[in-house]
Amino acid sequence: MSRLCERDLLLNVEQLAFPVEDLTVGMFVSALDRPWVETPFLFQGFLIESEDSIVELRDYCEFVYVDVERTDESLISPNGKHSAPKQIPSKNKADPRPAKVEPTSISSKSTEDDETELLKAEIAHAKVAHDSAERTVQKLFEKLSAGEEIDATGVQKSLDPMIDSIMRNDDAMSWLVRMKKKDDYIYDHSIASSIWAMIFGKHLGLDRGDVHVLGTGAMFLDVGKTKIANELLVKPDKLTPDEVKLVRYHVEFGVEIVSKIKGVDPRVIEMVAGHHERYNGTGYPKSLSGTEIPVFARIAGIVDAYDAMTTPRPYAKSLSTYDAIRQLNNFAGVEFPEEVVEQFVQAIGVFPVGTMVELNTGEVGIIIAQNRVRRLRPKVMLLLDSNRAPLVHFKIVDLRNQLSNETGDTSLWIEKGLAPGDYGLDPSEYYL
């Protein structure tokens, strides 16, 4: 496999302020002069692909921030057509706006140690929240399977501690999802999809209420499967066309179940109804396409697909996180909108905490800290040496700072992502 790259020569992310009238096609807008929720822009960060985007920005903003790392240098350099001012004063003195966004910093070793300690502490809180939600969901599905009516109060209450944990440090909940045993696919998939949806919502800058709706909707995506014969859901062989039709009815069953819940947010119903619709119209049950699919349903679709790909199922092996991301990138602009895929990958990371990886040297390890700036160069705890033999003492390699091995004669990079169980390793036995 060829060496991965993510503009690794760049050591900093810089964001420069531009008056809207000085923007041009090709610039990447990373921040606005006002909260994103006060504008119609769905995603926090987007590439200006047409003059129409600039016209729309002009309606809401006086100036924006351009991400230097993601913009062609000729558009922002002093020798290019545009050169960003160092400071943009607000025209409204009673309502001052920030003159700049602080660039993302690369942490020192002491800060890295602090981050690791904070993550350890947060995992403990995340586990309590996750276990509580797991019990709640299990009871919910048991009631549905028995034909009893359900009350969503318990589910909604169980989301609050998870949201709290995600807001403090989403790496903890992300790690926990990956480490949990997959004893029952439907229960675990419901919890995991809910967590991915809430992490995504946090990344998009949605307010807590919207994040809560996303978490609720994602948790209910598969409730309709309680009306499907279990032998079909666990069948290890390929389903027949008639069996596929039966399983696909879980969407309609789910909508029927969720619609009966008192006070349910309409967007929850939209998520259940549309999580198998696809951007190019190839989904089901209504073959919706493009903007016909509600926004929250688009989010539901990608979190559902991602967790399914990274979870062992009766009829398919799980993909490594990296391979799942590559698959989603293949789907960008086809099954999912490109901007949804891009933002989702940014939200969860190419190599999230808890992911097993193999370096180009043959050494095998587990990601213990992401690098938010240079996403392909995270912090790795090595478990196996270059001969795949277990290390007596685990070694920490920070790829953002350590570009070569200890002797300096071999460059270091991540060759590929691994799935849990590769080389007989269980990440949950090693991490922290």
Looking at the predicted structure, is the pLDDT value of residue 103 above 70? no
Q: Which of 314, 332, 348 is the last residue of a domain?
A: 348
Same domain, 369 and 395: yes
In this structure, the answer to whether residues 60 and 137 fall within a common structural domain is no
3-state DSSP helix/strand/coil % of the chain, to nearest 5: 45, 10, 40
Mean of the per-residue pLDDT values of the chain: 80
Half-sphere exposure of 381 (CA within 13 A, CB side): 17
Question: Model confidence over 358-381: pLDDT tens digits?
Answer: 999 999 998 888 776 677 788 898
> pLDDT tens-digit profile of 193-213?
999 999 999 999 999 999 999
Same domain, residue pair 176 and 304: yes
- Indicate whether 246 and 364 sit together in one domain: no
CA distance 379 to 396: 7
Q: Where a domain ends, among 309, 330, 348?
A: 348
pTM (two decimals): 0.70
Q: Tell me, yes or no, whether 52 and 180 share the same domain.
A: no
Residue with more model confidence, 403 or 366: 366
CATH number of the CATH domain containing 305: 1.10.3210.10
| Structure tokens, 378 | 């995270």
Are residues 291 and 392 located together in one domain of the fold?
no
Q: Is 66 helix (H, G, I), strand (E, B) or coil?
A: strand
- Predicted confidence band at 183 (pLDDT cuts at 50, 70, 90)? low
Q: Is the pLDDT of residue 266 over 90?
A: yes
Tell whether 25 and 81 lie within a shared domain: yes
pLDDT tens, residue by residue, 118-146:
777 888 889 899 989 988 988 888 888 88
Are 17 and 33 in the same domain?
Answer: yes
Per the structure, the complete domain to which residue 336 belongs is given by 109-348
So what's the pLDDT on residue 18? 84
Q: Which two tokens stand for residue 306?
A: 């991602």
Higher pLDDT, 68 or 55: 55
| Residue burial 288-299, b: 16+ Cβ < 10 Å; e: rest | beeeebbbbbbb
Q: Which residue has the tokens 């390890």?
A: 365
Segment among 58-72, 104-118, 272-286 with least mean pLDDT: 104-118
Last residue of a domain, one of 348, 364, 382: 348
Predicted confidence at residue 200, as pLDDT, reads 95
Domain count, the chain: 3
One domain for residues 175 and 321? yes
**Same domain membership, residue 405 and residue 331:** no
Both 266 and 291 in one domain: the answer is yes
- Cβ(214)–Cβ(299) under 8 Å? yes
**Is residue 1 over pLDDT 50?**
no
Among 369, 417, 415, CA closest to 5:
415
DSSP 365: E
pLDDT number for residue 14:
61
User: Helices 208-219 and 185-203: crossing angle, nearest 10°?
Assistant: 160
Q: In what side-by-side order are the strands of the sheet with 63-67?
A: 15-19, 63-67, 28-32, 46-47
My answer on whether 61 and 118 are in the same domain is no
